[in-house]
Amino acid sequence: MGPFLCSGSHHYQKEAQLSVIKTMAEAISKCIPPINIRPCVTKYLGKSHNLWHRSILMLELTAIESGFSSHHRPKNVSVSVYDFYEPDSAVTTQKETLDSLAELYERLEEEDMWAGLWQKRCKYPETSTAISYEQQGFFEEAQACYEQAMTKARVEHNNGPANPAVFPEYQLWENHWIHCSKELSQWDLMMEYGNTKGNANPHLVLESAWRVPNWNAMKEALAQVELSCPREMNWKVNMYRGFIAICHPDEKNLTLIDRLVEMSSNQAVKEWRRLPHYVTQAHMPLLQAAQRIMELQEAAQVHHGLQPANVGRNQSLHDMKAIVKTWRNRLPMISDDLSHWSDIFMWRQHHYQAIVSAYESQASQDSTHANHAMLGVHASAQSIINYGKMARKHNLIGSALDSLSRIHTIPSVPIVDCFQKIRQQVKCYLQMAGTMGKQELQEGLEVIESTNLKYFGREMKAEFYALKGMFLAQVGRRGNKAFSAAVQMHDILVKAWALWGNYLEQIFCKDRSSKMGESAIVCFLHACRHQNTGKSRKYLAKVLWLLSYEDDKSGHNLAKAVETYTVGVPPSQWLPWIPQLLTCLKSKIGDRIMNILLQIGKVYPQALYFPIRTLYLTLKIEHREKFKSIEPVNSQRRVSTTLLKAREKLEVVAANNEPPAAAQNRNDSEKNSTAATPTTSEAQPVSTSNATKPNSATNATVTTTAAPSTVGPTTVLATPATVIISSSTAANTSTVPTNTQPLR
């Protein structure tokens, strides 16, 4: 069966949607008892005939049947959790099966499945630890664990012969140590390792040489790789040929780029068709390759405009600015590997430097070329800062600081780039302090204090003072003076107000000082004044949380602060918090919350009217049920009175915003309703037995609903017990008594 499945006669069917091999593989997988096929043949079918998942399922079944299970461990032998017991009768078959299965997992980017397989299979505890670190993105720790495992294996090998069964684990150490080094941007180390005598790796040299850069070494490595290049790397070889054709000082040939771009694109598309038909993580490298191939073509256009004959033309300058702007806006996703970010930014750096060199060489002839050279300087600095920012967000602080330190290699960096570099550097120290200690906080504070602020604008100075206050608060010193200086320099800086509010909130949580809570509310409301709705939600959430600590002893100072400083906050930012504000109406600070609700109602009457009507009718039903058993308390009367006032004011606001035609129709409807409804003096008390029956004397339409009613920017969810009265008689409903005692 194996020779038939591997026969070259099936080669022309590899890319077909339906083929003989696919049908045979599906049939073999259904056979009982199963037909034995060598694992290497199954792996070949999966990689070559797009049978990835079927091959994986067959290999998993083979692995289980060959004894890859903890149930086969001997009971009387103490085995470490990192060891694996392999039955002597199936060592070779099982090893081949697990190797094939691990390779298919790795090709499909199934990292969790691959990690689980190797953690169950590995012989060294360091391997399992390193894989766990690498899964979580801790590449520095993973690299150290791989080095520790290599040292341990070297010592064992010096004492005796190595076990051949451990060779796949040795290869895993090398491959993933290289992967960690790539993610950490240690390209100089990779270049040195690839040129090691006796263990030369031209593929690694090819990837590292253009970043260093060393174009001669890259040309030599490319000549070696072309002789033994795997099929899935053909697109990358043609792309590297384009790199040399653009950037090599002695091999420039821009006319080849279009052909190389076309060849690389076609080969990448072929590789895409060999992957599963639905998009998985395995497709991500090819999507990233599409961006790199596109930027290869755009780089050729930049260099075409930098030719001596074209450097002074306006059209060339316009095209170059358009490409640089496109690159600035076309950034990888934050979820992409840091090695891909390195590929993009390092490639752009070469062309930014070419722009600077081309225009500075012409600056002696035309002074305007010096200004054009600043375009490359600013773009180069921005790429370094963006890479450092992404490295920090990936929690690779060492790589971030190394990248930010390279900005000093650029002459005459603009002030705005210096400011952003220092800000990212300070944030790196702050992030390191969360895991390492206060020493990093002190280093970050020294960076801020050693910065000469006279070259920066008021907004930049204010942000530096705000960051200084945050560091002082983290160290344990008072930061009020720094925050105060920040908001005095630039009173609309949202970040300064927010950081000051967080600092005061921390103090309030410790001593429960009403003054600190009031000051924190003031800071958060100031931060909301110049922020959009999405980003201001966290600040308003903290304001409402601080209001929950209001008590009679403090004299309602927190509520007074909210009422006083909410004036500048746009009403749209309160829309998501209408249910919480309505809940506050039932507390002792309801009168002060009433003013906020009225401000919202003036701009968004429907968004507020329907929730407050639903709450009013719900409380009315609860009030009615309470009268059946006990006398209502004064607090319930006050809540009903407050809600009645709010409802009456909202009806006035809605009437003022109503069109004339709609107002006339509403008045006619009210007249008809009044004619059919008895006055308050004529209305007779309804008995308790008839309290639940609808009053036929009114025009009120009573409906029970459980469906959400969406009106305006908010959604009201009516419960089954909620009774909604039509707006035509909503005003008359309160005059109809529904119990033996009147509602107050």
User: Could you check whether the bond before residue 33 is cis, i.e. omega within 30 degrees of 0?
Assistant: yes
pLDDT classification of 32: cutoffs 50, 70, 90: confident
Task: Read off the pLDDT band of 699 (50, 70, 90).
Answer: very low
CB burial string 106-126: b at 16+ within 10 A, e below: bbbebeebbbebbbebbbbbb
Taking Cα atoms as reference points, which of 400, 403, 357 lies closest to residue 381? 403
Are the beta carbons of 566 and 529 closer than 8 angstroms? Answer: no
Residue 629 has a pLDDT of 64
Using alpha carbons, list the distances in angstroms from residue 92 to 17, 57, 475, 622. 34, 20, 60, 76
CA–CA distance, 675 with 374 (Å, rounded to integer): 80
pLDDT at residue 731 greater than cutoff 50: no
Is pLDDT above 90 for 632? no
Q: What is the pLDDT of residue 654?
A: 57
Over residues 133-147, mean pLDDT: 94
Region label for 657, one of left (φ > 0), alpha (ψ between -120 and 50) or beta (otherwise): alpha
307 pLDDT more than 50 = yes
Dist CA 313 CA 136 (whole Å)? 51
Q: What is the pLDDT of residue 703?
A: 35
Residues across the chain: 744
With 80 as the cut, is the pLDDT of residue 733 above it? no
Task: Give me 591's structure tokens.
Answer: 């009168």
CB 524 within 8 A of CB 550: no
- How confident is the model at residue 695, as a pLDDT? 37
Average model confidence (pLDDT) across the chain = 81
Q: Could you give the 3-state DSSP secondary structure of residue 436?
A: coil
pLDDT at 735 over 80: no
Position 363, amino acid: A
Cα–Cα–Cα angle for 149, 152, 157, nearest 5°? 120
User: For 368-380, what is the mean pLDDT?
Assistant: 85
Confidence of residue 641 (pLDDT cuts 50, 70, 90): low
Closest C-alpha among 571, 561, 471, 484 to residue 524: 561
CB atoms within 10 A of CB 701: 12
Query: Which has the minimum average pLDDT: 363-367, 390-394, 602-606, 674-678?
Result: 674-678
pLDDT tens-digit profile of 540-557?
A: 999 999 998 887 776 788
pLDDT surpasses 90 at 662 = no
pLDDT surpasses 90 at 666: no
Pairwise CA distance, residues 15 & 631, whole Å: 82
Q: Does residue 678 surpass a pLDDT of 50?
A: no
pLDDT of residue 59: 92
Residues of the chain with CATH 1.25.40: 2-186
**pLDDT tens profile 246-300:** 999 888 899 999 999 999 999 999 999 999 988 989 999 999 999 999 999 999 9
3-state SS, residue 709 = strand
CA distances from 561 to 134, 506, 526, 734 (A): 50, 18, 11, 35
- Residue 677 binned pLDDT confidence (cut-offs 50, 70, 90): very low
- For residue 184, how many other CB atoms are within 10 A of its CB? 21
As a whole number of angstroms, the distance between CA 54 and CA 71 comes to 26
Specify the higher pLDDT residue, 259 or 618: 259
Q: For the ranges 94-103, 136-145, 222-231, 682-691, which has the lowest average pLDDT?
A: 682-691
Token pair listed for 738: 């529904």
What's residue 630's pLDDT? 60
Which pLDDT band, with edges at 50, 70 and 90, does 651 fall under?
Answer: low
pLDDT value at residue 673: 46
Q: What is the 3-state secondary structure (H, E, C) of 648-703?
A: HHHHHHHHHCCCHHHHHHHHHHHHHHHHHCCCCCCCCCCCHHHCCCCCCCCCCCEE
What is the third-level CATH fold of 2-186?
1.25.40
The pLDDT value recorded for residue 591 is: 83
Residue range 156-185, pLDDT digits in tens: 888 888 788 889 999 999 999 999 999 999
Read off the pLDDT band of 589 (50, 70, 90): confident
Question: Which residue, among 559, 533, 534, 536, has the nearest Cα to 546 in the 3D structure?
Answer: 559
What percentage of the chain has pLDDT greater than the value 70? 81
Nearest residue to 87 (alpha-carbon basis) of 74, 78, 75: 74
Task: Please say if the pLDDT value at position 649 is more than 70.
Answer: no
Nearest to 293 by CA among 324, 259, 270, 261: 261
Model confidence at 21: pLDDT above 50: yes
pLDDT at 470: 92
Coil, strand, or helix at residue 724? strand
Does pTM surpass 0.85? Answer: no
- Per-residue pLDDT of 445-475, as tens digits, reads 999 999 888 889 999 999 999 999 999 998 8
Higher pLDDT, 309 or 653: 309
For 78, phi and psi rounded to 5 degrees? -80, 120
**C-alpha R_g of the chain:** 36
Residue 440's closest CA among 430, 449, 425? 430
Per-residue confidence (pLDDT) for residue 362, from 0 to 100: 78
- H or E element that contains 704: strand 702-704
